[in-house]
A and B are shown apart, each in its own frame.
Chain A
Amino acid sequence: MKEQWRLLITENNSAYTNMAMDRAELVSVSEGKAPPTVRFFTWKPAAISIGYFQSLNEEVDLAACKNLGVDYVRRITGGGAVYHDKELTYSIVIPESHGQIPKNIMQSYGRICRAIIKGLNQLDIQSKYVPINDIIANGKKISGNAQTRKLKTVLQHGTILLDVDVEEMFSLLIVPNEKIRDKMISDVKQRVTSVKHILGKDIGFKNIADAMKIGFEEEFNIELNEGTFTEEEIELTNKFEREFFSTKEWNHKR
C-alpha cells in the first residue's frame, strides 16, 4: 500500500488564519501527531504576504491596503512580497528526515516544485523549475515558492497563479516613484503569466486543486486523503493567529 498523507482544503480564510494554519501543521507534524500534510487554500480578503526578512513599511502601501480592504501579513518563510488574489496556494509540511525530502535545501525546493509541475501538466501546461524558487511556463513565472525548516520539519508554501492583475498588485506595493511604477508594471507583465492566460479560460479552484493533488501523489508516490485539522491544530491555529500573525509586533517587526 502506498504511504498515506493528509490533504487539507481550506478556502477563503484570512491571511492571519492561513499563516497560523501552516505553523500549526508544522508543530503537529514535527511531534508525529499528524502525517505529512499538503494543504490547498485561498485568501479572503485578498492579501499581501511579505517574506520574513522584508520591511513591511518599505514594501507595502498600508494605506492602499486599508482603502481596498486588502490584508497584509509577514510569513515565517523568506522570499518576496506576494499579492494573493486569484490563485491556489499550497503548503506541504513533512519531517526533514522523510526519505522523499532531500537534505539539501535547494534540491528540496526542486523536488517539491516537481509536484506542482506535474499538477500543471494535468492541465496541459508545460512548466519547469527555475532556481531559486520559481516555476515558469512559456518563459514566464506562474508559481513562486518559499521554504522554511523548523523543529526538524520542512514547510514549503507557494502560489499557482490562476489570474493576475498587475496594476492592482502594484497599487498595493511601495515603488520608488510613479515613473518607475509604470516601468515595473510593464516588466512584470512581461515576466508573469497565469493559468487563465495560458489556457485562455477561467478554471475553478476545484479543478486546479484536483490537478495538484495528482501532481503531489505522482511525484511522491503517495496517496493524499482529504482530512481535517486535529483539535490541537485548531487550538494552535487560534493561538498563532492571536499571538503572531494578527499582531503589529509580528507584522511590523522589520
Chain B
Amino acid sequence: MINKCIIIMQSQSTYKVPNGKLLKIFLKYNENENLIDDLKITGDFFAYPEEAIELIEHKLKNAFLKKEILIEKIYSIIEKNHIEFIGLDAESLTKGILMCLK
C-alpha cells in the first residue's frame, strides 16, 4: 500500500492592479493536486458588498490553480452575487493568486 503524502505549500504575493489598488494574496495550496487549500484576499481595494470577499475566498477553496478556470469561477461568483469591485478586477485577482506559485 502506498501512502499518498499531501504537501500543503504556503505562499504570498503582492500585485499592483493596473489603474487600481494594491492586492496582497496569502495562499495555501496542495502542490500534488495543484488545488487551493486556503486563500486570503487582502489589500486597499473596495468591494461591494464587503462581505463578498469572504464568499469568494470560500468558493475558491479546492479550485484548480489554472488561469482560465480561476477567471471563469471568479466571474461567475461576481455575477451571481452582484459584486462590484473598485480598484480590483477578476483578471488581477487571478494574477495575484497565480503569482503565489512562482
Q: A: which residues have CB within 8 A of B?
A: 51-55, 58, 76-81, 105-106, 132-133, 146-150, 254
Contact = CB atoms under 8 A, between A and B. Distances in A.
A78 B42 contact: no
A54 B84 CA distance: 18
Interface of A (DSSP majority class): loop
A106 B47 CA distance: 12
The number of chain B residues touching the other chain, given as a range, is 20 to 34
B19 to A, nearest CB: 9
A51 B44 CA distance: 6
A132 B43 contact: no
A148 B26 CA distance: 24
Contact of B46 (A58, A79, A81): A79
B40 interface: yes
27 contacts: A51-B43, A51-B44, A53-B43, A53-B45, A53-B50, A54-B42, A54-B43, A55-B24, A55-B40, A55-B42, A58-B24, A58-B42, A78-B44, A78-B45, A78-B47, A78-B86, A79-B44, A79-B46, A80-B44, A81-B44, A106-B86, A132-B21, A132-B86, A133-B46, A146-B46, A147-B46, A149-B48
